Amino acid sequence: MAVTTAQLVDWIERYAAVIAEQKQYLTGLDAAIGDGDHGINMDRGFQQVLIKIAPVKDKDAGTLLKTTGMALVGSVGGAGGPLYGTFFIRAGTALDGKAEVADADLVAALEAGLKGVVERGKANLKDKTMVDVLTPALEQARARLKEGASIADALSAATDAAEAGMKATIPLKALKGRASYLGDRSIGHQDPGATSSYYLLRTLREALADPPQGASTSTSYVGREQQPTS
């Protein structure tokens, strides 16, 4: 099976919708151990992304993702802008010219994106960042595909790993980013960037689900997560 640009557009639109919906929640997480802007920044960025990708929805997957990344770099700012921007630009570069993307190529592209994040931010595992979500998630996706699973099933497993990785940031002491200034006081809080990265996997799973899941403006997550943890 292969992934289409339209499915990736669906992913990005779903993600933008979730970010808009969870804006306050993400911002609340960031207020506890950062500067209280992560949701605001990501939402500003993905509103820009929705505008900027409109003319390239018919183009190849590489163009779509690079356009997404450029829009993020030019509008998010903070740590999130270069990190998510680099993630999408690198992933897009890996898919240059491809209108249909083989399952393994998609995962490889996301891995290239993660590599870009690590090069930019130099975070190690357990530094309490988005890397703690993306790394185990993509490892799961790669492993499941190798075992012969469908991309839908592989992303399902990846999303579970992402969720686990996100929750595992709670007891960690932050060593990178703004939260590290808090030292021990960062312990006990879930990392905002890890949380937004978990949404990234979850919306990708939804977009590629077989059969596809409801509309991209799904609000099924609202209940639990809208309450900031602190």
**Shortest Å distance, C-beta 210 to ligand ADP:** 31
Select the span of 92-100, 146-154, 163-171, 182-190 touching other proteins (CB under 8 A).
182-190
Amino acid residing at 164: A
**Shortest Å distance, C-beta 53 to ligand ADP:** 21
Tokens representing 197? 């990265």
Q: How far apart are CA 84 and CA 70, in angstroms?
A: 10
**Shortest Å distance, C-beta 13 to other proteins:** 22
Instruction: Give the residue with the Cβ less far from other proteins, 38 or 144.
Output: 38
Does 180 bind Mg ion (CB under 5 A)? Our answer is no
Instruction: Give the residue with the Cβ less far from other proteins, 176 or 202.
Output: 176
- Exposed/middle/buried for residue 105 (C-beta within 10 Å: 0-12, 13-18, 19+): middle
Residue 3: strand, helix, or coil: strand
Q: How far apart are CA 221 and CA 17, in angstroms?
A: 11
Instruction: Give the residue with the Cβ less far from other proteins, 11 or 25.
Output: 25
Instruction: Give the residue with the Cβ less far from ligand ADP, 38 or 205.
Output: 38
Cis peptide preceding 211, ω within 30 of 0:
yes
31 binds, among other proteins, ligand ADP, Mg ion, none (CB under 5 to 8 A by kind): other proteins
Does 78 bind Mg ion (CB under 5 A)? Our answer is yes
Tokens representing 210? 């077989």
Select the span of 55-63, 72-80, 99-107, 137-145 touching other proteins (CB under 8 A).
72-80
194 binds, among ligand ADP, Mg ion, other proteins, none (CB under 5 to 8 A by kind): ligand ADP
CB 26 within 8 A of CB 45: no
* Residues in binding contact with Mg ion, number by CB under 5 A: 6
CB 173 within 8 A of CB 183: yes
Chosen residue from 10, 13, 21, 37 binding other proteins by CB under 8 A: 37
Does 214 bind other proteins (CB under 8 A)? Our answer is no
Beta-carbon contacts of residue 113 (< 8 Å; ≥ 6 apart): 86, 87, 88, 90, 91, 94, 134
CB 45 within 8 A of CB 71: yes
Does 136 bind other proteins (CB under 8 A)? Our answer is no
Q: State the residues that interact with Mg ion by CB under 5 A.
A: 30, 34-35, 37-38, 78
